[in-house]
Amino acid sequence: MTNVFSERAVDLDLAREHNLSVDEYERMLRIVGREPSLTELGIFSAMWSEHCSYKSSRVWLKKLPTTGPRVICGPGENAGVVDIGDGQAVIFKMESHNHPSFIEPYQGAATGVGGILRDVFTMGARPIANMNALRFGDPKHPKTRHLVNGVVAGIGGYGNSVGVPTVGGETEFHAGYNGNILVNAMTVGIANADKIFYSAAAGLGNPVVYVGSKTGRDGIRGAVMASAEFSGDSEAKRPTVQVGDPFTEKLLIEACLELMATDAIVSIQDMGAAGLTSSSVEMADKGGLGMELDLGRVPQRERGMTPYEIMLSESQERMLIILKPGREKLAEAIFHKWELDFAVIGKLTDTGRLVLRMNDKLYCDLPVRPLVDEAPKYERPWEKTPTPAPLDAAYDLPSAPLDVLQKLIATADLASKRWIWEQYDSLVRGDTVWGPGQADAAVVRVDETTSKAVAITTDCTPRYCVADPVQGGRQAVAEAWRNLSAVGALPLAVTDNMNFGNPEKPRIMGQFAGCIEGMAEACIALDFPVVSGNVSLYNETDGEPILPTPAIGGVGLLDDARRAVGLSLRDGLTLLLVGEPGTGHLGRTLYLREIHGKEMGPPPPVDLAAERRTGDFVRGQIQAGHIQASHDVGGGGLLVAIAEMAMASGIGATLALEEKAGLLFGEDQGRYILATNQPDVVTRAAEQAKVPVRRIGQSQGTALKLGAASVEVAALKQANEAWLPALMAGEI
Amino acid sequence: MQAAVVVFPGSNRDRDAVRALTLVMGRAPHTVWHHATELPKADLIVLPGGFSHGDYLRCGAMAAHSPVMREVRAAAERGVPILGVCNGFQILVEAHLLPGALLRNAALKFSCKRVTLKVETSNSPFLRRYNAGEQIVIPSAHGEGNYFAAPDVVKQLEDDDRVAFRYAHSHNGSVKDIAGILSANRRVLGMMPHPEDAIEELTGGTDGKRLFESIVEAVAQ
């Protein structure tokens, strides 16, 4: 019998304190075959947490398509990898940092950015762009301003310092997020397709190397914390939040990329959630090997840290590397040049066990494989979300359309987010072609030797998902695909960030199942596979769940960024409405919510065949150079979309549209506004492609004109720009 | 012509500076790590933007004491043209190669936007291809670019025609909207906005390119 030291007895009560269920406790005892040590319990609780094991979501995630002709690496590694030609690959992922950001918004958001950056450069990519998808509570809720301020400062504080441009994102407000905000961060990087680094350990006896920051007592059991509901005591959880240091991250990026240019690395993984525990276990498991570590050699920031603390710390800016034998000196010199810690802390073994020692005492001796393979997997009961009743009334325009427009564009979800994105450096690296607020997707050139670029977007409409998860899941994917097409990019692949409530409730699991079903349908129909992602559950406080929010990060490819179009109107162009005209759908629209005060009805349906036909047509016209500005018709509907194009440049338009609520403010899907100087050419091509097209106006002057009424674009812009600064100044 | 870009730990627009110089000079500049105690022979030294040493202590304060700065100071005394952009400007100020200080932006927030600058003088090797009084658009991205100097120092700068650029619209609280200044010999230029990111039409315009063309032309003569 191995004599494994434990600081205290491990019983069911202690296991429960570690968030393990009775079943999970018993399963752990069977695997260990004796009473586990405290360190071992900590390792089980982290590896089997929802956050690390995906135990509630795995059976559903399998339904998503994850392969395609360009996919080099799908889900399961640190990030997804997609071929973009010329021997290059784009590597990307989105990840949540919801729970910590609610507890401590600056550090929570900052370390969210740091973590996702590491997931991407771990694989050998130079990060070229960051994005984010943020959801806050009611603007009037007493915590909202503090949270917005902290999250935005945290994202900027980290991203600006590491020198990766934050080129776009989305921010929405809804009372459903009062107790649980969402901070989803995405990083996109570029690597040589033949120089991708993976995490599977290999090579018996090879050294296991720790690099980066020292390990401290911050973020201990963060992954476990993030796998439970809040119950009004979130302040008490502050010690589980990690603290970020972007300066060290910047050095770590440069040092890792420098080491990666040599042939010293066998495999590499960042220490993210569950820190040294998940990185060591996952690397050993993927390689089918064992690992022996001397925790006394782990660089430590504080004295007297126990093995339990060292294994469960989520201190930031750390990586675990398996080196080829004899390359230690070379690697050490690089990390010391960048003034980072470097320590050989162990070696690979053929025992298949994770063996941890400190000061010659044995603290852990566990089989690796069961920690991963025998992690619980739940087919949790779920209830289908009831089909929403149709709207009970016509909800006609209460006043002149342009007055409604002016009111609508100054509401929370449509107001300009300039106050946020001007706090992010969107221009560093000098490759930003279209940044925040300029186009439906951000466009970032791959490097200066080429005009090849990637287009990036994040999208989700939770108010649709809550009413009908299947349509909402479809729409989130379709909108991302549409936004990429709207700049002229070929959509490549998706990363998803599934944010939901407590999966132990059948109603929540039903939302999850529905969204996955809709997403899978859309991903298949649009050839838009999921290559990476993250699941964040238990976004509930005192039993109140968030709106189901499957955030989609989409990446597309532009062979020639000079062909990309933004949304800014120019004078003298014809405005075309392209796509199926729809029915003037008002259910779940911003018009219904903001003007009539109702959140009801079904969301607009997504016709995936029409979506594909229309998007392919739009992309073709942009690439042919026929289009000067382009914008999809999204939240707020047609008139809002036209106003957004006008506000981007100050140029107005004279519109020929019937003054009906459904036409002007309905959110029917799969539609674009194209501004062109060749309307006849585009119209003929649309007819050939069997895509409906309608001339809706002409850009000119400085006012939007509809019938006899008109409003100055400058006045619209003033209203649109004023809302968020006023909120943040405490004036709303 | 040879140029050198100094890289400090935490520099992040070093690559942008290298690219701009490569594009304009037709050859890549040297990059020099902050520990260097010798500089390669260079006709131009650039201190790039970023967050040297994480901006900890005070922006540029630690970088100003890097070993390489002894060489930079000696080069400045020999009249070698030196350009400090953003964090580079902060370092030049902390090293007393330029007067004044850069405080937190008046709004206490990081701010990234393309700003309109008024070129105040063309009397410098960095500015000869601009016309005094013309307006140019250059990206700006900083949290601590609020230029401050005592009134007599500002008066001296103005009397000596050493204000290189002003913000056309009040931007970060800088005294007299000063965005960039010159040394007494007009061969050291410190500025907050980023001419190195305004080099190509595709990525935000070319108004910064003439600054690099100016210095290349000046060195050639």
Q: Is A160 on the interface with B (CB under 8 A)?
A: yes
- Inter-residue contact A723 to A407 (CB < 8 Å): no
Which tens digits make up the pLDDT trace of A183-194?
999 999 999 999
| pLDDT at residue number A732 | 83
Q: Is B86 a catalytic residue?
A: yes
This model of the complex carries an ipTM of: 0.97
* Cα gap A109→A244, rounded to integer Å: 9
Domain range for B117: 3-220
- Inter-residue contact A487 to A630 (CB < 8 Å): yes
* Cα gap A210→A321, rounded to integer Å: 6
Per-position b or e across A227-249, b if 16+ CB within 10 A of its CB: bbbbeeebeebeebbbbbbbbbb
Q: Tell me whether residues B197 and A425 touch, CB distance under 8 A.
A: no
- Structural domain tally of chain B? 1
Label residue A3 by pLDDT band (50, 70, 90): confident
Mean pLDDT, residues B103-132 taken together:
97
Q: What is the CATH number of the domain that holds B161?
A: 3.40.50.880
Q: What is the dihedral of CA B59, B62, B67, B68, to 10 degrees?
A: 0
Which tens digits make up the pLDDT trace of A110-155?
999 999 999 999 999 999 999 999 999 999 999 999 999 999 999 9
| pLDDT at residue number A240 | 72
Chain A nearest-CA distance from B153, in A, is 31
- Inter-residue contact A720 to A416 (CB < 8 Å): yes
* Cα gap A662→B198, rounded to integer Å: 44
Q: Tell me whether residues B203 and A433 touch, CB distance under 8 A.
A: yes
Contacts of A431 in chain B (CB under 8 A): 203
Q: Is A425 on the interface with B (CB under 8 A)?
A: yes
Q: List the beta bridge partners of residue A627.
A: A676
| pLDDT at residue number A272 | 87
Quick one: what percent of chain A has pLDDT higher than 90?
A: 93
- Residue A340 scores a pLDDT above 60: yes
Which of B31, B112, B114 to mutate to probe the A interface, most A CBs <10 Å? Answer: B112
Three-state DSSP class for A544? strand
- Burial category of B176 from C-beta neighbours within 10 Å (exposed 0-12, middle 13-18, buried 19 and up): middle
Which tens digits make up the pLDDT trace of A18-69?
999 999 999 999 999 999 999 999 999 999 998 899 999 999 999 999 999 9
Mean pLDDT, residues B164-174 taken together:
97
* Cα gap A415→A410, rounded to integer Å: 5
Domains, chain A, in order of start with CATH, read: 565-732 (3.90.650.10)
Contacts of A429 in chain B (CB under 8 A): 15-16
The token duo for A57 is 């979501």
Which of A426, A428, A432, A445 to mutate to probe the B interface, most B CBs <10 Å? Answer: A428
| pLDDT at residue number A2 | 60
Give the range among A228-232, A274-278, B208-212 with minimum mean pLDDT.
Answer: A228-232
Residues 6+ away with beta carbon under 8 Å from A134? A151, A169, A170, A171, A172, A181, A182, A183, A184, A420
Which tens digits make up the pLDDT trace of A266-313?
999 999 888 999 999 999 999 999 999 999 999 999 999 999 999 999
Residues of A forming the active site: 51, 97
Binding-site residue ranges of A: 54, 93, 95-99, 118-119, 242, 270, 314-316, 496, 533-534, 536
Q: Is A424 on the interface with B (CB under 8 A)?
A: yes
Mean pLDDT, residues B102-112 taken together:
97
* Cα gap A332→A624, rounded to integer Å: 52
Quick one: what percent of chain B has pLDDT higher than 90?
A: 99
What residues of chain B have any CB closer than 8 angstroms to a CB in chain A?
Answer: 9-10, 12-13, 15-16, 19-20, 23, 33, 49-51, 53-56, 109-113, 139, 141, 143, 194, 196-197, 199-200, 202-204
Q: For residue A443, what are the CA distances in angstroms to A251, A612, A647?
A: 26, 21, 20
Q: Tell me whether residues A338 and B50 touch, CB distance under 8 A.
A: no
| pLDDT at residue number A628 | 98
| pLDDT at residue number A1 | 45
- Inter-residue contact A169 to A94 (CB < 8 Å): no
Per-position b or e across A646-664, b if 16+ CB within 10 A of its CB: bbbbebbbebebeeebbbb
The token duo for B29 is 């500049």
Which tens digits make up the pLDDT trace of A531-575?
999 999 999 999 999 999 999 999 999 999 999 999 999 999 999
How many CB pairs below 8 Å do chains A and B form together? 89
- Residue A227 scores a pLDDT above 70: no
Average pLDDT, chain A: 95
- Inter-residue contact A344 to A332 (CB < 8 Å): no
Label residue A255 by pLDDT band (50, 70, 90): very high
Chain B nearest-CA distance from A163, in A, is 5
Quick one: what percent of chain A has pLDDT higher than 70?
A: 98
* Cα gap A633→A631, rounded to integer Å: 7
